[in-house]
Amino acid sequence: MSPFFIILLCLLLLILILLGIAVYRTLKLPVRKAAYQPPAADERAARYAEKLSRMVAFETVSVPQTNQRDKFLPFHALLEELFPLVHEKLEKTEIDGNLLFHWKGRDASRPLVLMSHQDVVPAEGEWKYPPFSGKIAEGKVWGRGASDTKCSVMGFFQAVEELLQEGYEPAQDVYLSSSCTEEWSGDGCGKLVDELKKRGVHPFLVCDEGGGIITDPVGGIRGNFAMVGVFEKGAANIRLIARSQGGHASAPGKHTPVARLADFVWTFEHRNPFRRKMLPEVQALFEQLAPYAPFHMRLLFSNMWLFRPLLVRVLPMLSPQAGAMLQTTIAFTRASGSDAYNVLPQEASLGANMRFIPHENMEKSLKKVRKIAGQNGLEVEVIRSVDASRSVDIHGEGFGLVRRVISETFPGLETCPYIMTGATDARTYEPIADHVVRFAPVIYGPEQMKGMHGLNENIGYNCLPGAVDFYRNLIQENA
């Protein structure tokens, strides 16, 4: 027998042994079924729906680069009507339409910040119910902002209102924070953070929107899971510019502006230069989902020691969302060229949106873009850029507190770390806070996910009591 054949047999035997170990480990893993379901809507849920309905019916679309304080003050008056004790008992600070409430506790060593934004994006297109009607129908509250995120604003205001009615005094200081510029990444929340800096406030825990109770979070895994955002990817808007002398389209030369832009796009579509990596938070997500998955997925997710390299390669092919948690991404969103079909442009441009992953941060990612742009004779203009945020320690005290409160509030609900591919106001708090998580305690099924920033946004109001209870419990557990 030749040495080559012996080596081949040994490798095959080793692979079979490793696969056998993986299968054995998978068979030993307890199989679980996602157990949490919200209770049917009752009188309490209906009362909360009425409050949320009125908040949604108040149009609070924010306009970029515009001070809209006068627009938001009437909305604040509505909040005062709906939550009178919050406004009577808590110290209110209003800065250019952005709100900060302080509920003084017996101690101030571990302040808690509950936050979500007042503003919403525009509502275009044909809706089933008018987008600013706040219609209550089919067990849902309909309208722009119902799920993003006036539901969580209502939830923590209502939680504090009820605790005040009961005469509760918090063990630790509590702050309610709500900006009116979140949807365009404005500076509203930053103004509130600056105010807390002046007061010397150092929050122990900040809980913002971002994650949520997600239904069927990964293809093949059914049920509701608490996905708690632990960090946000960075983001940039960039413009690629190709210049030339122009000319008539009847006699085109090589490397015209649009062709050079096309070569640039082709490189990223077919030879993506961004490095994929399974971050510890992403690995923890899949490992915690493993017991709820069918066997083939359970085999992969519960044996990262063996299958991690394979998953890093195949996940982007199976799910764009999963792939985005592994690497920096670039999406081409805008293009311009000649005004006429028969004229070569003197200038053509391409707009793109980038999302940076921590292991290949803003600086490294933009460096790769500039290198490939240079190879194609393109200029790069960075219009706006911010790096990835700091990650919460998923084994730390803050994440552990949130996990415990989720378990107490929603029996049977599994809590998983989650990577935010979008952006929130939460990152603004990171310079002054120990732990910053992104979790709105409401249920986002496929319909709610589709409606967010889209048509027919809604939220099932049977989940609103759970949201209020989560915030109540979080305040009471932060002792």
Would the CA dihedral through 367, 373, 377, 380 be positive or negative?
negative
Q: Which uninterrupted H or E stretch holds 448?
A: helix 446-451
**Crossing angle of the two packed helices 464-477 and 150-165, in degrees rounded to 10:** 60
List the domain range (segments joined by +) for residue 376. 236-386
Report how far residue 117's alpha carbon sits from residue 115's, in angstroms, rounded to the nearest whole number. 7
Report how far residue 353's alpha carbon sits from residue 123's, in angstroms, rounded to the nearest whole number. 22
Report how far residue 68's alpha carbon sits from residue 17's, in angstroms, rounded to the nearest whole number. 65
Same domain as 276, residue 160: no
Residue by residue, DSSP assigns 1-17 as --HHHHHHHHHHHHHHH
The pLDDT value given to residue 181:
96
CB 187 within 8 A of CB 181: yes
> DSSP letter at 221?
B
Report how far residue 380's alpha carbon sits from residue 321's, in angstroms, rounded to the nearest whole number. 27
Does a structural domain hold residue 28?
Answer: no
Task: Write the CA distances from 166 to 103, 160, 269, 412, integer angstroms.
Answer: 15, 10, 58, 28
Number of domains in the chain: 2
> DSSP letter at 271?
S
Does a structural domain hold residue 160?
Answer: yes
Position 119, amino acid: D
State which of 386, 401, 416 marks the end of a domain: 386
Does a structural domain hold residue 77?
Answer: yes
CATH code at 377? 3.30.70.360
Task: Write the CA distances from 477 to 165, 328, 375, 401, integer angstroms.
Answer: 18, 37, 57, 8
Same domain as 418, residue 358: no
Helix/strand/coil for 444: strand
Residue (of 203, 88, 112, 155) closest to 476 by Cα position: 112
Residue (of 169, 211, 284, 153) closest to 449 by Cα position: 211
Does a structural domain hold residue 11?
Answer: no
Same domain as 403, residue 358: no
Same domain as 400, residue 349: no
Report how far residue 439's alpha carbon sits from residue 417's, in angstroms, rounded to the nearest whole number. 10
State which of 386, 420, 440 marks the end of a domain: 386
Does a structural domain hold residue 26?
Answer: no
Report how far residue 340's alpha carbon sits from residue 249's, in angstroms, rounded to the nearest whole number. 10
Same domain as 173, residue 77: yes
Same domain as 147, residue 71: yes
Token pair 């209003």 is at which residue?
A: 94
Instruction: Tell me the whole-structure pTM to 2 decimals.
Output: 0.92
The pLDDT value given to residue 366:
97
Residue by residue, DSSP assigns 163-219 as HHHTT---SEEEEEEE-S-GGGT-SHHHHHHHHHHHHT---SEEEEEEEEEEES-BT
Q: Which uninterrupted H or E stretch holds 344?
A: strand 343-344
Report how far residue 447's alpha carbon sits from residue 459's, in angstroms, rounded to the nearest whole number. 9
Same domain as 350, residue 203: no
Same domain as 57, residue 177: yes
Which region, left, alpha or beta, applies to residue 53 given φ > 0 means left and ψ of -120 to 50 means alpha?
A: alpha
Report how far residue 231's alpha carbon sits from residue 201's, in angstroms, rounded to the nearest whole number. 22
CATH code at 198? 3.40.630.10
CB 134 within 8 A of CB 141: yes
Does a structural domain hold residue 32?
Answer: no
Does a structural domain hold residue 469?
Answer: yes
State which of 361, 386, 411 marks the end of a domain: 386
Report how far residue 206's alpha carbon sits from residue 429's, in angstroms, rounded to the nearest whole number. 8
Same domain as 382, residue 350: yes
Per-residue pLDDT of the chain (479 residues; tens, 9 = 90+): 677 777 777 788 888 888 888 898 999 999 999 999 999 999 999 999 999 999 999 999 999 999 999 999 999 999 999 999 999 999 999 999 999 999 999 999 999 999 999 999 999 999 999 999 999 999 999 999 999 999 999 999 999 999 999 999 999 999 999 999 999 989 999 999 999 999 999 999 999 998 999 999 988 899 999 999 999 999 999 999 999 988 888 888 888 999 999 999 999 999 999 999 999 999 999 999 999 999 999 999 999 999 999 999 988 887 888 889 999 999 999 999 999 999 999 999 999 999 999 999 999 999 999 999 999 999 999 999 999 999 999 999 999 999 999 999 999 999 999 999 888 999 999 999 999 999 999 999 999 999 898 999 999 999 999 999 999 999 999 98
Same domain as 446, residue 363: no
Report how far residue 59's alpha carbon sits from residue 228's, in angstroms, rounded to the nearest whole number. 29
- Distance from CA of residue 388 to its chain's centroid? 13
Report how far residue 296's alpha carbon sits from residue 299's, in angstroms, rounded to the nearest whole number. 5
Token duo for residue 348: 């053509």
Does a structural domain hold residue 31?
Answer: no
Give all strands (DSSP E) within 55-146, no chain letters.
91-95, 98-103, 107-115, 136-137, 140-142
CB 157 within 8 A of CB 83: yes
Same domain as 393, residue 382: no
Same domain as 407, residue 379: no
Token pair 């028969």 is at which residue?
A: 342
Token pair 């250019």 is at which residue?
A: 96
CB 426 within 8 A of CB 203: no
